[in-house]
A and B are shown apart, each in its own frame.
Chain A
Amino acid sequence: MKALNVKKGKHVSYSKWGYIFLIPFFLVYGVFSLIPMISTFYYSFFENYMSGLKMIGPTFVGIDNYIKLLNQGDLLKYTQNTLIMWILGFVPQIAVSLLLAAWFTNIRLKLRCAGFFKTIIYMPNLIMASALSMLFFALFSNNGPINMLLMDSGIIDEPFHFMSSAIGARGLIAMMNFLMWFGNTTILLMAGMMGIDPALFEAAEVDGATSFQIFSKITMPLLKPILTYVMITSLIGGLQMFDIPQILTNGIGGPDRTTMTLIMYLNNHLFNNNYGLAGALSVIIFIITGALSIGVFKSLTGQKGQGDKG
């Protein structure tokens, strides 16, 4: 077959090998991702839960599950919680990462031991999120070290119940997300910045631009692709925030359910073997994630001509 191909025309086409090498990926994706996704869609229209020791269902109920979720559950509240906690962590993360990336790639600053610093800031990402949450839980507990420290230094009189105040619990979760991910973002942005042609920087300096102008008019626009990537992956990760709030609040979702994220809510249903509602919730989360991602993507890369305005 191959010999025939070569003989027929001078044009050798190996493209079919490309497709053949892609087959394993699509096979695995199909079996482990696509089919489960389709069956989730399918089963979300069924009622399926446990009452006592009996399994009730699966019986077809149409869009009952969705109506139940949208009416009874506080879906909007949980979406808000998730987005608030994500933004609280993401904004400092991006700001600090941009700053650090700018410093590390600035040849003129001549930072020493840059390699050492890069390793250190990446380390929190290597800790398991659950371990970090347990650590923070112990640190910020009612009689924990932080409270002792604050009381001894006279800042507060009584232990401040971090876990019982909305701002305390959410702040802690945002802080943990920030700690875990800012190293990763810094490295990505550094990679992006090092890809910018240094000739541009030199030209700008010759023209008398300040550091800040260089940063905002040259670096930022040229970083757009990397920033898009960071935003979208961070958004998807943020919407799926689960392990940190779950361990920190022990699955309860914090004071007055203000730290209950969408996936924690999903987990509650799965844990109580309510597969019908869980399936419907998964579909809703999928739609939200998809919509937001498309929105971010379009707004960051859509208008090429108007890119410099931002």
Chain B
Amino acid sequence: MKKIISVMLVMSMVVLILTGCTNSDDSTKKETSGSSQTPASTVEAGETKEDQVVNIYSWNDEFKSLYEAYATDLAEKHGVKVNFIIVANENNAYQNNLDAALQAQESAAKDDKVDIFLVEADNASKYTKSEYALDIVGDVGLTEADLADQYQYTKDIVTVDGVQKGTTWQATPGLFAYRRSFAKEVLGTDDPAQVQELLSNWDKFDDVAKKMKDAGYFMLSGYDDSFRTFSNNVSEPWVDDTKIVIDDNIMKWVEQTKMYTDERFNNRTTLWAPEWSADQGPDGKVFGFFYSTWGINFTLLGNSLADADSEPAVGNGIYGDYAVCEGPQAYYWGGTWVCAAKGTDDTPFIKDLMYRLTCDAETMKQITLDTQDYTNSEAAMGELADSDYASDFLGGQNHIALFAEAAKKIDMSNISDYDQGLNESFQQAMHEYFEENVDRETALDNFYTTAFEKYPELTK
């Protein structure tokens, strides 16, 4: 008996040692909660000594799926292996990880160097202003002609001193996505133009909210849903020199959301939480969601299905029950830019990849047809807007036509280097005010405390 037990103990110790040594190939995605101490990185393809390795840093797998759908032949053409390093965005984890990697760029081994990294609107200016993002015309090799068809604002946001340092495949005009069935029931119509009439400014929006409440539905899902609509229409950036400035429009968001929470016009969820995702699905009772164009295919579509494994088509969940309209205010939300990292040795591959996904009108048109994302080609979008393109997911609506005009008017002049941390901290701090844990002044103080932790050089 003793021998058996001792043998078993030795075996279990050996097994433990071995499991600790193997490389796991599973990718871990942290959306809701996760330890923010050490961000976990996922390493995919194995690296051999002969192949060059292209390391792409991202915070979700949006770019990865684009690459796998439209550009995998480039890897073969250039003889490289593409390696995605994905670190979730929460609590600045992605930025901290990327910053550490970029600062170690010079001393890193050839295969470990950062080659491509993605930035989003909230943190774009920090990276483009640094020395780590290459000039995509001068250093990477794209030409002005290649970039001519892109929407101007997508170029402006990543242009520093006349040098464009990043490129994107999407333009992100904001919109309001609503449930057709609820609209028909409560408002009598589900036609986007008519619904837009009823939602064309905030007062009318509040009226519809009341009607929805009376019918037993929620107007919005959570506290943060309407944040971007207000925060993109501010008159000055978050930080003036080193002083934090809370714009009036942002306080308007606070007031509206407090009113909505008190009157139960919203379902008190948090952005990206499981309850928020569930509200977009077949069991949800929420009338609408503020989204940008990337949200339609990346988030809303998946959440609306009843069965994630079967074909996304009419009949699966509430696929087809959504439609979009412009909403009470024009705005944009986010967007992802692709930057080439200084010190990379894979510039030909990067040039081809950037061209394929962000300059080639054919590819971008295909992306829109497949994913309903609004891509960064005025020609392709103009073509689709005039055609009889209809999105099945949106019940037959041609949403590209709706935004072709709006996309040209997006104004990103009020971004700052601190947007990501400050947006997140502000929303978090205000949640406690909405849930009536603290009063507004305390919530603001808490916001400042967190902001100073994240960015020690800022002042009140």
Query: A165 to B435, alpha carbons, bound, how many Å?
Result: 9
Q: Are A51 and B457 in contact (CB under 8 A)?
A: yes
Given contacts A53-B126, A252-B428, contact A246 B275 (CB under 8 A): no
Q: Are B33 and A247 in contact (CB under 8 A)?
A: yes
Tell me which residues across on chain B come within 8 A of A55, comparing CB atoms: 103
Q: Which residue of B lies closest to A258 (CB)?
A: B437
Tell me which residues across on chain A come within 8 A of B268, comparing CB atoms: 142, 161
Query: A271 to B93, alpha carbons, bound, how many Å?
Result: 8
Query: A56 to B242, alpha carbons, bound, how many Å?
Result: 15
Chain B CB within 10 Å — which of A130, A143, A256, A269 has the most?
A: A256
Tell me which residues across on chain A come within 8 A of B99, comparing CB atoms: 50, 53
Given contacts A255-B437, A273-B96, contact A49 B126 (CB under 8 A): no
Given contacts A72-B452, A255-B437, A256-B432, contact A271 B92 (CB under 8 A): yes
Query: A166 to B438, alpha carbons, bound, how many Å?
Result: 10
Query: A143 to B102, alpha carbons, bound, how many Å?
Result: 41
Q: Which of A46-99 contact B (CB under 8 A)?
A: 49-53, 55-56, 72-74
Query: A74 to B453, alpha carbons, bound, how many Å?
Result: 12
Q: Are A251 and B455 in contact (CB under 8 A)?
A: no
Q: Which of A270-284 contact B (CB under 8 A)?
A: 271-274, 277
Q: Are A272 and B437 in contact (CB under 8 A)?
A: no
Q: Are B456 and A274 in contact (CB under 8 A)?
A: yes
Minimum Cβ distance to chain A for residue B142 (Å): 24
Q: Are B96 and A161 in contact (CB under 8 A)?
A: no
Q: Are A52 and B130 in contact (CB under 8 A)?
A: yes
Partner of B456 from the list A74, A246, A272 (CB cut-off 8 Å) is A272
Given contacts A53-B126, A130-B35, contact A164 B449 (CB under 8 A): no
Q: Does B12 contact A (CB under 8 A)?
A: no
Query: A263 to B249, alpha carbons, bound, how many Å?
Result: 36
Q: Are B438 and A271 in contact (CB under 8 A)?
A: no
Q: Does B169 contact A (CB under 8 A)?
A: no
Tell me which residues across on chain A come within 8 A of B35, comparing CB atoms: 130, 246-247
Minimum Cβ distance to chain B for residue A70 (Å): 14
In the complex, per-residue mask of B420-434: 1 if CB is within 8 Å of any chain A CB, else 0: 000000001001100
Minimum Cβ distance to chain B for residue A25 (Å): 24
Tell me which residues across on chain B come within 8 A of A130, comparing CB atoms: 35
Q: State the A residues within 8 Å of B (CB).
A: 49-53, 55-56, 72-74, 130, 134, 137, 141-143, 161, 164-166, 246-247, 250-252, 255-257, 267-269, 271-274, 277
Count B interface residues, CB 8 Å: 40
Query: A74 to B33, alpha carbons, bound, how many Å?
Result: 25
Q: Does B89 contact A (CB under 8 A)?
A: no
In the complex, per-residue mask of B211-224: 1 if CB is within 8 Å of any chain A CB, else 0: 00000000000000
Tell me which residues across on chain B come within 8 A of A52, comparing CB atoms: 126, 129-130, 417
Minimum Cβ distance to chain B for residue A43 (Å): 16
What 7 A-B pairs have minimum CB-CB distances, sorted nearest first? Answer: A255-B437, A164-B435, A251-B36, A53-B130, A256-B438, A250-B33, A49-B456
Can you report 14 A-B residue pairs in the complex whose CB atoms are below 8 A from each other? A51-B457, A52-B126, A53-B99, A53-B132, A55-B103, A130-B35, A142-B269, A250-B34, A250-B90, A250-B91, A255-B437, A257-B449, A268-B453, A272-B455
Query: A143 to B221, alpha carbons, bound, how many Å?
Result: 14
Minimum Cβ distance to chain B for residue A204 (Å): 41
Q: Are A256 and B446 in contact (CB under 8 A)?
A: yes
Q: Which residue of A lies closest to B32 (CB)?
A: A250
Chain A CB within 10 Å — which of B32, B37, B457 has the most?
A: B37
Q: Are A277 and B456 in contact (CB under 8 A)?
A: yes
Q: Are A272 and B102 in contact (CB under 8 A)?
A: no
Given contacts A52-B130, A53-B102, contact A164 B33 (CB under 8 A): no
Tell me which residues across on chain A come within 8 A of B90, comparing CB atoms: 250
Minimum Cβ distance to chain B for residue A100 (Å): 28
Q: Are B92 and A256 in contact (CB under 8 A)?
A: no
Tell me which residues across on chain B come within 8 A of A269, comparing CB atoms: 453
Tell me which residues across on chain A come within 8 A of B36, comparing CB atoms: 246, 250-251, 271
Q: Are B437 and A137 in contact (CB under 8 A)?
A: no
Partner of A272 from the list B92, B269, B432 (CB cut-off 8 Å) is B92
Query: A55 to B455, alpha carbons, bound, how many Å?
Result: 12
Tell me which residues across on chain B come within 8 A of A273, comparing CB atoms: 96
Tell me which residues across on chain B come within 8 A of A56, comparing CB atoms: 457
Q: Which residue of B lies closest to A73 (CB)?
A: B449
Given contacts A251-B36, A251-B91, A273-B96, contact A53 B456 (CB under 8 A): no
Query: A256 to B453, alpha carbons, bound, how many Å?
Result: 15
Q: Does B299 contact A (CB under 8 A)?
A: no
Q: Which residue of A lies closest to B425 (CB)?
A: A252
Q: Does B442 contact A (CB under 8 A)?
A: yes
Minimum Cβ distance to chain A for residue B25 (Å): 22
Tell me which residues across on chain B come within 8 A of A137, comparing CB atoms: 33
Query: A130 to B452, alpha carbons, bound, how many Å?
Result: 27
Q: Which of B443-460 contact A (CB under 8 A)?
A: 443, 446, 449, 452-457
Query: A51 to B129, alpha carbons, bound, how many Å?
Result: 13
Q: Which residue of A lies closest to B99 (CB)?
A: A53
Q: Are B446 and A257 in contact (CB under 8 A)?
A: yes
Q: Are A271 and B132 in contact (CB under 8 A)?
A: no
Q: Which residue of B lies closest to A252 (CB)?
A: B428
Chain B CB within 10 Å — which of A52, A74, A142, A274 has the most?
A: A52
In the complex, per-residue mask of B238-256: 1 if CB is within 8 Å of any chain A CB, else 0: 0000000000000000000
Query: A73 to B449, alpha carbons, bound, how many Å?
Result: 7
Q: Are B37 and A246 in contact (CB under 8 A)?
A: yes
Q: Which of B27-85 contact A (CB under 8 A)?
A: 32-37
Chain A CB within 10 Å — which of B96, B437, B454, B456 has the most?
A: B456
Minimum Cβ distance to chain B for residue A281 (Å): 11
